[in-house]
Each structure stands twice: as structure tokens, then as C-alpha cells.
């Protein structure tokens, strides 16, 4: 049986992209000859602390404290080739076609790594009407999508707030600078420090929060496609439809490059 199961993969593109992006910025700073000028503790506190605090205001405490798990899902996330999943479904459909739905009972243990598929086929084997199976699986999938969107929305909100906190820090620095106009020698350094908060906010937003939110949404779309394959398969098996028809249904939701030809 085509398998391999869903595996938690390490997304090297995310890590390498972040490291290379920050390396380029740091290299530009170092080549400029004054890396120390880009370090200002009060500016860091305003941007990091302010972004965290205001983001927490926008969400429930539990949602905000779960940001660590959200970030982890952008780097370590379950993945499986939807083509392999479709082939597995078609093989199970053939087994059910030849031996009846109850013949799948002996295959459920091998599907424990595919919790969503296991749940759907368990309902089918238990005699749950196909329409009810579809309703349960769709609600489950929608709840998963909603959780992923919530995680992405936290990162997006932080990406929106970070530049604003940078601007607030810049305004604070400018006010302090204008208060010391009687000392011309302090204007240049004060202006540099004032602009640092804008720099920190722009870096956090455009190099961390927004890219990670985009990656989380991409991972969510992949999982949604995989779960759609499982749902269509489980419902079709429950209706005892011809596996050839199931193949056409699966190919209708799979991207062209992922479509399968099981019966050819």
C-alpha cells in the first residue's frame, strides 16, 4: 500500500532564509564601519517590549502565550505528498470495493499516523451515514484551519505593530533631541539613535513576523489540501462508489502536477 505517512519535516528554507537575510544586513552594517552605532538598548526595549505588549492586548492571553508553538510550526510541520495520500486512498477504496467496508477494519491500525483519515474511515466502518461523515470531517477541518489562521493573525498583527512602535521610539528620540538643541554636538548622535527604533521595527516586521506568517499560511494550505483528499476518499468509500470515479474526484482537487493515474 502506498504509504510513508505524515512526517514532521524540518523546513530548512525558513531557517536558511532568515539566517541569510540577517547575515546580509549585519554584513552591510559591519562594512559600513560602525556596527556599535546600531546597538541601542532603549530602542530595543521600545520595539520588542512594545510590540509584545500591544500584540498581547489584541488577543486572549492563552492565544498570545501560544506564540512559541506557532513559531515552531513554521519550522517543524507535518507534511505528506498529496499524491501518495491519493494513491493510498484509492488502494483502500479497492479493498472496500472487493471485501466490503468492514474489510477496512484490519487496516485502521496502520492509519494511526494519519489521524484525520483514521477518524473518517473509523466512522465509515462503524456504519455512519456518508453525509454525516462528511459533515464531521468538514467541521474538524474547518476548526484546524481556524486555529492556523489565528496563529498567522498573531504574527501579522505583530508585523503591523513593530513598525509603529519603531515610529513611536523615533518620535521619543526626536523630542529628546529637540530638547538639547543648545548643544549642537549632540544633534547628530541623537538623530542616529532616534532612527534606530524605526530600523528595528522595519527589520522585525519585514524579516521576521510577515515572512513567518506567510509560511504558516502556506503550511496550512498544504494541510487543508491533504485533509480534503482524505475527506473525499472517506466519503466516497462510505458511499461504496467505484474507485475509478474516486480517482476523478481526487484529481479534481489535486494540483495538475500532483494528479495520479492509478488505473492506467
Is 181 part of any domain? yes
pLDDT tens digits along 145-196: 998 899 899 999 999 999 999 999 888 888 878 877 777 777 776 777 778 8
Is 69 part of any domain? yes
Is 64 part of any domain? yes
Is 19 part of any domain? no
pLDDT tens digits along 97-153: 988 899 898 888 888 888 899 999 999 999 999 999 999 999 999 998 998 899 899
Is 62 part of any domain? yes
Using alpha carbons, select from 135, 145, 119, 134 the residue that is nearest to residue 221: 145
Residue 264 has pLDDT above 80, yes or no: no
Is 1 part of any domain? no
Instruction: Please count the structural domains in the chain.
Output: 1
Cell of 105: 477494519
pLDDT tens digits along 4-56: 566 777 888 899 999 999 999 999 989 887 788 888 888 888 899 999 999 99
Which residue blocks in 4-114 are alpha helix, DSSP H? Answer: 12-31, 41-44, 50-58, 61-65, 67-75, 82-99
Q: Residue 155 sits in which domain range?
A: 37-253
Using alpha carbons, select from 191, 180, 210, 207 the residue that is nearest to residue 43: 191
Q: Measured between alpha carbons, how far apart are the two ends of the chain, in Å? A: 17
Predicted TM-score (pTM) above 0.75: yes
Is 263 part of any domain? no
Helices (H) and strands (E) in the chain, counts: 11, 2
Is 155 part of any domain? yes
Cell of 136: 464531521
Average pLDDT over residues 200-225: 93
- CA angle, 19 then 22 then 28, to 5°: 135
Indicate the range of 83-92, 108-117, 151-160, 231-240 predicted with least confidence. 108-117
Residue 69 has pLDDT above 70, yes or no: yes
Amino acid at each position: 500500500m502506498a504509504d510513508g505517512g505524515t512526517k514532521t519535516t524540518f523546513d530548512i528554507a525558513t531557517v536558511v532564509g532568515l539566517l541569510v537575510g540577517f547575515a546580509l544586513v549585519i554584513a552591510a552594517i559591519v562594512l559600513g564601519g560602525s556596527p556599535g552605532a546600531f546597538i541601542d538598548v532603549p530602542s530595543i526595549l521600545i520595539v520588542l517590549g512594545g510590540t509584545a505588549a500591544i500584540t498581547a492586548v489584541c488577543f486572549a492571553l492563552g492565544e498570545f502565550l501560544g506564540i512559541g508553538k506557532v513559531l515552531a510550526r513554521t519550522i517543524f510541520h507535518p507534511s505528506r505528498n498529496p499524491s501518495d495520500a491519493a494513491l493510498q486512498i484509492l488502494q483502500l477504496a479497492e479493498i472496500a470495493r472487493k471485501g466490503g467496508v468492514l474489510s477496512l477494519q484490519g487496516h485502521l491500525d496502520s492509519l494511526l499516523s494519519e489521524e484525520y483519515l483514521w477518524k473518517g474511515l473509523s466512522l465509515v466502518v462503524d456504519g455512519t451515514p456518508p453525509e454525516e461523515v462528511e459533515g464531521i470531517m468538514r467541521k474538524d477541518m474547518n476548526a484546524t484551519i481556524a486555529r492556523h489562521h489565528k496563529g498567522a493573525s498573531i504574527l501579522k498583527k505583530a508585523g503591523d505593530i513593530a513598525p509603529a512602535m519603531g515610529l513611536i521610539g523615533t518620535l521619543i528620540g526626536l523630542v529628546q533631541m529637540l530638547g538639547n538643541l543648545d548643544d549642537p554636538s549632540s544633534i547628530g548622535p541623537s538623530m542616529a539613535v532616534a532612527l534606530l527604533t524605526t530600523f528595528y521595527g522595519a527589520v522585525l516586521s519585514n524579516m521576521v513576523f510577515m515572512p513567518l506568517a506567510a509560511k504558516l499560511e502556506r503550511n496550512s494550505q498544504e494541510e487543508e489540501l491533504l485533509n480534503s483528499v482524505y475527506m473525499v476518499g472517506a466519503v466516497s468509500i462510505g458511499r461504496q462508489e467505484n474507485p475509478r470515479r474516486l480517482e476523478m474526484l481526487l484529481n479534481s482537487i489535486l494540483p495538475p502536477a500532483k494528479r495520479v493515474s492509478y488505473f492506467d
